[in-house]
Amino acid sequence: MSVKKRKLLIVDDNKNVLTALTRLLELEFDEVHTAGNPNLIQSMVRSNEYDTILLDMNFSAGVNTGNEGLFWMKEILKIDPNAIIIPITAYGDIDLAVRAIKEGAADFVVKPWDNDKLLATINSAYNLRQSKLEVELLKDKQKSLLEKINKKYSSIIGSSSIMKDIYKTIKKVAGTDVNVLILGENGTGKELVAREIHRQSSRNQELMISVDMGSLSEPLFESEMFGYEKGAFTDAKEMRKGRFEIASDGTLFLDEIGNLSLSMQAKLLSALQNRTFTRMGANIPKEFDTRLICATNKNLKDMISEGLFREDLFFRINTIEIIIPPLRERGNDILELTDFFLNNFKAKYRKNLLKLNKDTFNALKNYHWPGNIRELQHTIEKAVILSDSDTLKPDDLYLSKQVKLKSSEDIALTFDEIEKIGVLKALERNKGNIFKTAKELNIARQTLYNKIQKHKL
């Protein structure tokens, strides 16, 4: 990787000044360019990327208003908005120097100059230039990242009447900053709905930060959500921003919020009520301006009645509620989604001739899809990978193996497959309620959550 050369431009009609400055600064810069005529400035700035420009403010004999320098400074900034310009002025031109700074100059140098002060000024200016360029680079990267995210989560697929109602709600809600709670079974596309709300909002040029609340242990909650100062705890080697701070001016999506313990719920509620948070190891609270969207597959009202979820937090996050229907209730959306996934995986795995026959479409439509859209996606991908012909038949979907325990004598199931089926059926019987499902299976809620993650349910 080549190292970028440091370049300096000096513009002054006094040859002695140009010579003195060049000798002083040629050891600090890889290239020092000079111009005795200001009419050369535009072509030189267009053809070179200067880190610093030293600019005299007067060029015509007998003129000392500085207007010429201000004019050329503006012309430079038109070509390079991040240009670092340091005017060179006489002792009596301090007011002019102040005007120049207001117009965009980084600093100024007074004639006759002190060499040490001049070098310090130029080095500071160089660092400022690098900072400006880094900010521009970060902005470009963020823009590119947002474009990639929006492309990946380009749209919600489905034209059923129930989905059309959801689209209308999204459109109404997106233009506001109200808190939204998205409810639905695992795999129904809750994050996709959250991203669509963000995409249609006035915050869409900022990031949407997603947090899987189920994966946060109690000791990690504060450091992840609110951040920490250097030295706040043993491993805090440097300051780190939390999710609330990173999502500032954007959207914060808290997935699986029903998995928070009561103590974590209390800390979250306090932040939402006060619109502030305090980094671990700090004493001063920081304000945040973040759009909040939460999601869960749990019945929070049942959890409230069981003392597992705070009612005040529920009302805080639930200004607008959007319920995503399970795939089995979305009719022909199953076929639309199938076409979408099939086209994607055909291209990905270079099987462009693949198609589904009528019986396969019927099998897909009649299957109950306990894993919803995520299960459909995995089913189509697996079928495409394993296909030996150009037509996918019902048997190529392996749907029966996923639901029929009674046929286990005829089908060789692995232990993991049996476990997956058992968890799916228990979730189905309990309508996705993690607490009740874990109780039925006689396992801890965290263990159940781990199994759900393991089997991608």
CATH number for the domain that contains residue 370: 1.10.8
Are both 171 and 301 inside the same structural domain? yes
Residue matched to tokens 């951040």: 227
Q: Mark whether 174 and 289 lie in a shared domain.
A: yes
At residue 3, the pLDDT reads 46
Q: Which residue has the higher pLDDT, 217 or 98?
A: 217
One domain for residues 288 and 416: no
- State the pLDDT confidence band at 147, using cuts at 50, 70 and 90: low
- As a whole number of angstroms, the distance between CA 397 and CA 380 comes to 7
- 3-state class of 87 per DSSP? strand
Neighbours of 375 (CB within 10 A): 21
Q: What pLDDT, on the 0 to 100 scale, is given for residue 151? A: 53
Same domain (yes/no): 251, 118: no
Q: Is residue 302 part of a domain?
A: yes
318 and 388: one domain? no
Phi then psi for residue 392, to 5 deg, are -85, 120
Any idea which residue has 């019987």 for tokens? 429
Give residue 145's pLDDT: 65
Q: How many domains does the chain have?
A: 3
* Alpha-carbon span 58 to 339, nearest angstrom: 70
What confidence tens digit (pLDDT) does each residue in 160-174 have?
Answer: 999 999 999 999 999
- 334: in domain: no
Given a cut of 60, whether residue 152 has pLDDT beyond it is: no
| Same domain? 131 vs 159 | no
Q: What is the pLDDT of residue 410?
A: 42
In DSSP terms, which residues pair with 33 in a beta bridge?
Answer: 9
Using the 3D structure, point to which of 277, 306, 325 is the last residue of a domain: 325
CATH number for the domain harbouring residue 296: 3.40.50.300
Question: Do 285 and 159 belong to one domain?
Answer: yes
Phi-psi region of 405 (alpha: psi -120 to 50; beta: other; left: phi over 0): alpha
Residues 128 and 160 in one domain: no
Question: For position 75, which CATH number holds?
Answer: 3.40.50.2300
Of 288, 139, 140, 180, the residue nearest 226 (C-alpha): 288
Predicted local distance difference test score (pLDDT) of residue 6: 83
Least trusted range by pLDDT, from 133-142, 230-239, 273-282, 333-342: 133-142
Q: Could you read off the pLDDT of 316-361 as tens digits, one per residue?
A: 999 999 999 999 999 999 999 999 999 999 999 999 889 999 999 9
Are 162 and 272 in a shared domain?
Answer: yes
438 within 8 A of 444, measured Cβ to Cβ = yes
**In this model, does residue 254 exceed pLDDT 90?**
yes
- Asked if residue 348 is part of any domain, the answer here is no
107, 124 contact by CB (below 8 A): yes
Expressed as residue numbers, the domain containing 123 is 7-135
Residue 2: predicted pLDDT: 38
| Structure confidence by residue, pLDDT tens digits, 216-236 | 888 899 999 999 988 888 888
Q: Which of 135, 168, 193 is the last residue of a domain?
A: 135
- Same structural domain for residues 126 and 158? no
Contacts (Cβ under 8 Å, ≥6 apart) of 196: 153, 155, 156, 170, 174
The reported pLDDT for the residue numbered 387 is: 87
Better-predicted residue by pLDDT, 25 or 59: 25
Q: What percent of the chain has pLDDT over 90?
A: 46
The answer to whether residue 198 sits within a structural domain is: yes
Distance CA 455, CA 331 (A): 25
Per-residue pLDDT tens for 389-406? 899 999 889 885 444 433
